[in-house]
Structure 1
Amino acid sequence: MAAKPTVAFIGTGGTISSLGRDSLDILDYSATDRRLDAQAIVAAVPELARVAEVLPVPFRAVPSPAIGFAEWRDLVRLCEETVAAHPECAGIVIGHGTATLEETAYALSLTLTVPVPVVLVGSQRPMSALSSDAALNLVAAVRTAAAPESRGRGVLVVLNDEIQAARDVTKTSVTRLQTFRTPDFGILGHVDGDRVHYYRRTERAHAPGTPFDIRSLAGLPRVDIAYAYADADGTAVRAFQAAGAEGIVCAALAPGMLPPAEAEAITAAAASGVAVVMSTRAGSGLVPLTTRLRDEGILSADTLTPQKARILLALGLTVTQDRRTLAEFFARY
């Protein structure tokens, strides 16, 4: 009988680690402020032992709104240390709250240094809930991380039996189990029972091998998101500039337009040297690089959502201020 693969599990907190008041508490469970660490989560799902030798790796357990650059940097380091200490490790699973899971997944997909598959997993219901999706999502994520076919596909996101690409996936529902979707391109594959099935792969570049090395950084350049709406007058844009923003991402009206006063403020920001990227609040679709955007030195986010465009712009600004190179990053990643 073949030996089971070794998969590391890093728990960062979130719903997948949470315990509510009782089995029917599926909405207000954060009020208990009870979260299991990685070792306790693995112990709570004994079925994992049938899939792999799961190695719990200590981290900190927090709600996902508390996760940002510092945690991304520390996860990059921890993944590197874990693979170095356990060369037999076939893959890594990171448990994460769903609120910012897509942002952590994309940040790691641009900055990781390890060659093994890294899979982010969360749940919509806490571990303690009736019909919780936490345990089965975790089993599916471990299967995916252990699968040889998962190598070379970049960071993956697994929930609801579906495998998604970190760059493209987004959370689309507050409470439904099928919340994570890839609107333009669809899923990469399924985890059906004991099998992992892939049907496509992402064409965009990803780590390892990117120019974005955050392991020794204290922080990222400040990049803010300006949300467009009828009658937006540019106040937020000017406030971001005053706060020292090196970049601004526009969550613009589709397909990449702004109300007149907001457009005036953004044009002035770009002229002053702020790196400006035009995304859209629509949630899907490519922002066309129009003549106006080119003339004003504004970049297109391609198909990235505003929150992911912010990550790529901030990482890009750690490498260069050159607009042409930044544009190449958005075309490549």
Structure 2
Amino acid sequence: MCKPKVAVIGTGGTIASQGRGPLDTQDYASSGRPILTAAELVAGVPALAEVADVVPVPFANIPSTAIGWTEWRALLACIAETKAAHPDLAGIVVTHGTATLEETAYFLSLTLPDEMPVVITGAQRPFTALSSDAPMNLVDAVRVAADPQSRGLGVLVVLNDEVHAAREVTKTSTGRLQTFRSPDLGALGHVDADRVSLWRRPARLLPMAEHFDVRGIETPPRVDVTYSVAGGDGLAVRAFLDAGAQGIVAAAFAPGFTTPAERDALGVAIAAGCVVVLSSRAGSGRAFPTRRYGEQGFVSADNLNPQKARVLLMLALTRTRDRAAIAELFARA
């Protein structure tokens, strides 16, 4: 029986990192050993050959803390080139550091132009660590990418035997293997020994016709995040505005309130033409669109966390500055 073909694009991160020895699970970034290339990573997991015909694709060997708009656009181009070079692909896996994995996944889910399965995976322990999660996460991701039922679900995130939607998942622990969770709604399914078991489809998927085309946008609109704390005086808001912010995401107190001083500063930003999106620092639940904040011009992030609200606002501002249109987008995407 012919095995499905899956491309593995390597971007670096912990999943491809090498420590000083099997017990080095913390300081491997300074081990002096190189990050594995996509080809080396695939070769290091012989079990991959049992589930798919895997094509390694080089991209970058960097920590995910170094990934942003420029790398996202380059990754989009790499995905497009990989599809063109291998028209018989069943799906694509992107290996990624966990620090910004959720942001890359959500960006791709809003910008990829077709329904081919794209699965993002990473690891909490480096490839060389005792009981590393890297090999199994990679195998699971390839299995999910190769599975026909993954088609049309948007970008998926697979770690720790779980399948999550890009929009919903977030990193919740610095070091535990079960770090990626979808706080409000839970996993889409699991990767079991006998099959990929999916239990639901994500309801919040932007239609393909509305996906963002960023190929010609080298510099994104500046969007910053301000974090509400007791006694916050709004100084950060004013600094962001002075720096040229076109959008600001407020990581507000749950369920979506700032300090009075922050609200005043954000009101000044709105009056100056900056789009302000109200998210929550709680990590779960919606930022409710209250009348008081709505009348002042705030846009609700719904239940997007601040870092993902920033991704969507950056993309939205490439298309429109109309607050009503952006608010409608946040209610659907």
Identify the residue that residue 7 of structure 2 maps to in structure 1: 8
In the TM superposition, residue 206 of structure 1 has moved relative to its aligned partner by 3.3
Rounded to whole Å, the distance in 2 between the matches of 1:173 and 1:328 is 32
- Aligned partners of 1:106 and 1:83: how far apart in 2? 20
Counterpart for residue 197 of structure 1? 197
Write out per-residue CA displacement over residues 91-149 of structure 1, whole angstroms, 9 at most, x where no aligned residue: 00000000000000000000012331000000000000000000000000000000000
Matched, 1:304 2:312: no
Pairwise CA distance, 1:78: 1.1
Identify the residue that residue 179 of structure 2 maps to in structure 1.
179
The percent identity for this pair of structures is: 59
Residue 32 of structure 1 and its aligned partner are, at CA, apart by: 1.9
Residue number in structure 1 paired with 2:323: 323
> Is structure 2 residue 31 aligned with structure 1 residue 32?
yes
In the alignment, the residues of structure 2 paired with residue 22 and residue 15 of structure 1 have an alpha-carbon distance, to the nearest angstrom, of 14
* Matched AA of 1:20: G
Matches within 5 A, 1:83-98: 83-98=83-98
**For 1:54, what is the secondary structure of its paired residue?**
strand
What aligned pairs does 1:37-76 form with structure 2 within 5 A after superposition?
37-76=37-76
How far off its partner does 1:69 sit? 0.6
Q: Contact 1:161 / 1:192 at 8 angstroms: preserved in 2?
A: yes
**Is 71-80 or 100-109 further displaced after alignment?**
71-80
The residue aligned with 1:268 is 268
3-state SS of paired residue (2:266): helix
CA RMSD of superposed structures (Å)? 0.9
Query: Aligned equivalents of 1:237 and 1:166: distance in 2?
Result: 28
Secondary structure of 1:200's aligned partner? coil
User: Aligned partners of 2:302 and 2:3: how far apart in 1?
Assistant: 41
Report the equivalent of 2:144. 144
**SS of residue paired to 2:61:** coil
TM-score under structure 2 length normalisation = 0.98
TM-score by length of 1: 0.98
Note if contact 2:113-2:211 (Cα within 8 Å) is conserved in structure 1: no
Conserved 8 A contact 2:112-2:211 = no
Q: Is the 8 A contact 1:110 1:207 kept in 2?
A: no
Does the CA contact (< 8 Å) of 1:94 and 1:121 recur in 2?
Answer: yes
Contact kept, 8 Å, 2:114 with 2:208, in 1: the verdict is yes
Alignment of 1:172-251 (within 5 A): 172-206=172-206, 208-251=208-251
Aligned pair count reads: 332
Following the alignment from structure 1 to structure 2, what is the Cα–Cα distance between the partners of residues 46 and 206?
37
User: Displacement of 1:210 after TM fit?
Assistant: 2.5
Name the counterpart of 2:17: 18
Counterparts of residues 255-294 of structure 1 (less than 5 Å): 255-294=255-294
- Native 8 Å contact 2:234 2:261 kept in 1: yes
Q: CA deviation at 1:209?
A: 3.0
